Amino acid sequence: MSETTTLPIEDGTIENTNRWAHKRAKTWVAIVQKDKSQPGGLRRTFLDRAPGGRVFVGPTKPGDWLEFAGDYYTGGGSKRPDRKYYRVLERNGSLILEPCDLEDVGRKDEAPVVNPLEVYSNEDILAEAKRRGLIQ
């Protein structure tokens, strides 16, 4: 397994680690899926921007594929694309991400589960603990 990256979630947002701070730059973070009919062969669900170069994590969940993009456009109009791809391994106070290549996006193998309880909501866990009499 590749080395993982951890991005803290602060006020529902994460940092766009591939952001250009320039007026001719276009930056985004998107949940991506393979789709040959879309630009670049990926269907993108863009995450909403937040202040300070951050984005809202919104619907991001383990198993999702993320694209961190920072495209710079020169004064002559040439584009210098810079994209990084990750698979979300865990979301629990931070996003734990596994870096991958564009070719890996959408592969069908199971995402490794870092936290086995991640698949259950907090409400489900609390309800089960109450049912078992572990909490009041």
Q: Is there a domain that residue 94 lies in?
A: yes
Q: Is there a domain that residue 86 lies in?
A: yes
The partner residues of 71 in beta bridges, in order of sequence, read: 26
The partner residues of 33 in beta bridges, in order of sequence, read: 43
Number of domains comprising the chain: 1
pLDDT of 57 reads: 92
122 contacts 115 by C-beta, under 8 angstroms: no
Q: Is there a domain that residue 67 lies in?
A: yes
Q: What is the pLDDT of residues 100-116, one digit of tens each?
A: 988 888 877 655 556 66
73 contact partners, CB below 8 Å, separation of at least 6: 24, 25, 26, 79, 80
Instruction: Give the separation between CA 67 and CA 16, rounded to whole angstroms.
Output: 10
> pTM of the full predicted structure?
0.72
**Which three-class secondary structure state does DSSP give residue 33?**
strand
- Percentage of the chain exceeding pLDDT 70: 85
Q: What is the pLDDT of residues 47-82, one digit of tens each?
A: 998 888 888 998 898 889 999 987 777 778 777 777
Q: Is there a domain that residue 136 lies in?
A: no
58 contacts 48 by C-beta, under 8 angstroms: yes
Domain that holds residue 70: 5-131
Q: Is there a domain that residue 50 lies in?
A: yes
